[in-house]
Structure 1
């Protein structure tokens, strides 16, 4: 099988003309059309006389962006730009990525998704309703053939960015993740499909809102839900057999279960399980290197045992198993705390399959208040405290000080999103630990005491996993591929060179990071035999050395540039 590059450098075929052309964001370039293009496509009279470059347009768009003071207004402006001129939108973001990242993703995107039905202007993405499963295949087919699509992001909207059930607002997170696939990993936006599975919502505020755009009934569960998802996945396999399927923000009862069902059947992964686990493990490995110890010596408390928390536990376990650590020794070093407190074996009937392996033995906790995080920390004396609870201020000063009594450099990761749901702020953590803590957060924070705070963002891993899997046409996303990602991310941490530097790279370097992550994925997939591409066109082999493969990966990455337009007849 040959590989079709993601980044095309030749002319862009355009079957449209006149005013119609200006309403299609893929082809519209406003004042950026050359005079020859204006004449060829019959748009001379629709545009001002000035001929401007993409750089001119980006400067104007940035001035407009800066005139807006509220992040949600800036988010809305950017979404409006996206449906006008796709190239200009991505160029603006690429030029100002670090500044705009928190506006297009967490925490501002959470607010935009909460307001999805009220901010609605123009539909983007593929909407599939559980009331009409017969429409799934035709709805997906409208996006192109198997040679047109590389990546599909799907969400049912049950657990979005720490704000819970958002129903049809699921399309907002699918779109946001698709945008990051392009910005971070250079995946052509035309080759991605954002999908929302509308299976109802349990959000009473949405159901009571006359402007809500989704199905107005409680979430469907059980056999009907499973049949709907199965029909969707089977349609993806049939229509886009080479595409990677990305599950996003499914609820606790479905996220891991669906991953376990479909992972053996096609190239798919769940960002909340594997992505969160991988980026957190990468940061933990970087922290362990700073401590000068090894992962098998670390005692972990994971506060919040939902999809993300159990995903992190599983990534730690998988890594240590690969390192030859006995299974029981691993279990003995990981404790999960959730709404009932410390998860215990006596709770077995109420625990999820993902939680059950980590349940603590009841007899070891006699006489201790297992609903108190302080009491739990006092007994375990953890090296690492990881928050995935969406319970703000749960890491109190007493908890942090207790932790700092027993370990020289506590590892504290408050990862809940958005920012208002963080278990503690970096300032609070560093004050309680006399500046000794190693910190990573789920959302961006300003430097504290001159220290840059690592942002434990999934964007450091999932775009690279996706790009690498696309380029090698992986038929599965394996544990070894994820492990290769973790090791590469840890090696790229600034703290690997300076122990006082952040545990993760800077978002400003995300395209380089994603290229390196993708390269690690490609090489591991080739080694595993999961890659379906051995040779490129003209019989040239995919480079097997890292630098050679990295050069090849970067050459495939899409850039927001105006390509020459070539007029073709409409089909």
Structure 2
């Protein structure tokens, strides 16, 4: 701010005299950032900036997203969550909270709805501004990425996710609400750690869990009745249970199930298009093996199945028969002899003629898949033998090792390229470096099935359309819009996803598709959107995307933004 503003706010003599532009501040910050030797140090630096200079933080993240996305989210956020209790006291000034911590003891001390409402109202991250959030991301920390139960340390995920909403789709940072619901942890390491900051109790039983979540959801809606709630990183059983319970009762979605499913569906659509064009494999001729049977895997399978039904005219049963699911005990079948979790039963095979298959190599030999998708969090599960066999079976094998972070991935891009003689069509859940063929020096860039291509645009579309709920049709429309968003240059290069540098353009396209579908299904409640002509919805979406320059940088305010 200039000297006149400093004088008006009583800030003269409290800082050096020079008045700088935001561009100069950015250059200084980038020099400091790039001097850090580890990703975790960079994460801490950016976290401190977020809580002290929010405007500058988002200018940097938006303009340098390819460099910053791996710092503020995966893969670094996994390490940050593991260390969060150790870092938390040093990430912000005293009294500056980085999120809403709702603590819920398993005892008579459990909060009432009135207590929860008071807690929610106390979170006012931007002083002297009316706080009216439009999107909340909530986790209980029970299944953080591929790292398991991290308890209250999982707060890093809602924080990181909402940063990407701002950077990727222009959600106003003043309208975001990160929440961690601390129900305890079953992680003995944290329960015994003197520095762990969360509740030192084991997680509640099923009845207590759902009663607690219900009370929290009611309290959030009592304070913010129109808010969009994104469920993030809950255990598989609870992720499905919460989505089934709330999907049509309120404005919500689960990114691990629906977001992951949509972004991978988009990549699969483009992979199927490519092998049909280049190798002549018809869509209905595919056989898809999922290695991993958690919430994300089943969510992805459901959405790919829907694609086969909608776009290629298969019946539900015909489409379902294209999928084989593998869990820790092997191929999921109806006669395996164990009690299957409810979410696995739909895809359990009954055509295995009594044979059971344990190893992935045996399953590949039996199924002869054209597509292998990994969501197991088992590093190296796609061995050289498995990849070579896939390459022998397919001219262009489709391989998607999607587990995060990179240390949990089923294989690397380099391993897949080498084992398939550079013929693999590849997308991963985390970023891998490009691969250069030794003889030809041809450079291949791997696809990354990053949920960031979907959830920001989906959230923006939902905020603008204000549908009564987010339908399966809206999720599908988002995935299809992403698949169709590739430029001609990206298609010619064989990419499955657009470049991250176009993320805001892509998010606008996705949000527009969500708005169109909400209107088509008569779910949209926004009078403003309903008054917009169909052909003008994309410009309407773009107009409502926040950016740092949307604010008057010289406006008089004591808020850090």
Provide TM-score, normalisation by structure 1. Answer: 0.89
Shift of 1:347: 4.4
Question: Residue by residue, what CA displacement relative to the aligned partner does 1:149-196 show, whole Å, maximum 9, x if unpaired?
Answer: 210110001111111111001211010101111111110111111000
CA positional deviation for 1:365: 5.1
Inter-partner Cα distance in structure 1 for 2:46 and 2:130: 30
Report the counterpart of residue 240 of structure 2 in structure 1: 256
Distance 2:102 2:157 in 1: 15
> Partner of 1:7 in structure 2?
none
> 2 CA distance for matches of 1:239 and 1:475?
18
SS in 2 for 1:345: coil
Shift of 1:420: 1.1
- Per-residue CA deviations over 1:195-241 (Å, capped at 9, x if unaligned) read 00101111111111101000001111211111110011112333222
| Aligned counterpart, 1:375 | 362
Q: Distance in 2 between matches of 1:535 and 1:155?
A: 32
Alignment of 1:34-53 (within 5 A): 34-53=2-21
- Asked if 1:413 corresponds to 2:409, the answer is no
SS in 1 for 2:325: strand
> Any residues of structure 2 matched to 1:84-99 within 5 Å, and which?
84-99=52-67
Equivalent in the alignment of 1:238: 222
For the structure 1 residues 348 and 257, does the alpha-carbon distance in structure 2 shift closer, same or farther, using more than 3 Å as the test? farther
- After superposition, residues 381-396 of structure 1 pair within 5 angstroms as 381-396=368-383
Cα RMSD of the aligned pairs, angstroms, is 2.0
Paired residue for 1:226?
Answer: 210
Q: How many Å separate the matches in 1 of 2:275 and 2:488?
A: 11
- Alpha-carbon distance between aligned partners in 2 of 1:310 and 1:495, rounded to the nearest angstrom: 32
1:267 aligns with 2:251: yes
Report the counterpart of residue 116 of structure 2 in structure 1. Answer: 136
Which of the numbers 145, 154, 166 marks the counterpart of 1:170? 154
Aligned to 1:442: 429
Moved more, 85-94 or 286-295: 286-295
Query: Which residue is 1:322 aligned to?
Result: 310
Alpha-carbon distance in 2 for matches of 1:174, 1:356: 31
In the TM superposition, residue 69 of structure 1 has moved relative to its aligned partner by 1.1
2:194 paired with 1:210: yes
* SS of residue matched to 1:301: strand
How many residue pairs end up in the alignment? 530
Structure 2: segments with no counterpart, 5+ residues: 437-442
> Does the residue aligned with 2:236 lie in a helix, a strand or coil?
coil
What residue number does 1:338 align with? 327
State the partner residue of 2:300. 312
Alignment of 1:500-519 (within 5 A): 500-519=493-512
Is the Cα contact below 8 Å between 1:345 and 1:362 reproduced in 2? Answer: no
Q: Which moved more, 1:141-150 or 1:488-497?
A: 141-150
How far the C-alpha of 1:147 sits from its partner, in A, is 8.0
Cα distance per residue 1:316-362 (max 9 Å; x no partner): 12233334421221221100001001111024762222211101126
Cα distance change on mapping 1:99 and 1:524 into 2, 3 Å: same
Structure 1: runs of 5+ lacking an equivalent? 1-32
Contact 1:146 1:242 in 2 (8 A): no
Q: Which of 108, 115, 125 is the matching residue for 2:99? A: 125
Residue of structure 2 in register with 1:75 after alignment: 43
From the superposition, tell whether residues 348 and 39 of structure 1 become closer, same or farther in structure 2 (CA, over 3 Å): farther
* Counterpart in the other structure of 1:111: 79
The TM-score, its normalising length taken from structure 2, stands at 0.91
1:290 partner SS: helix
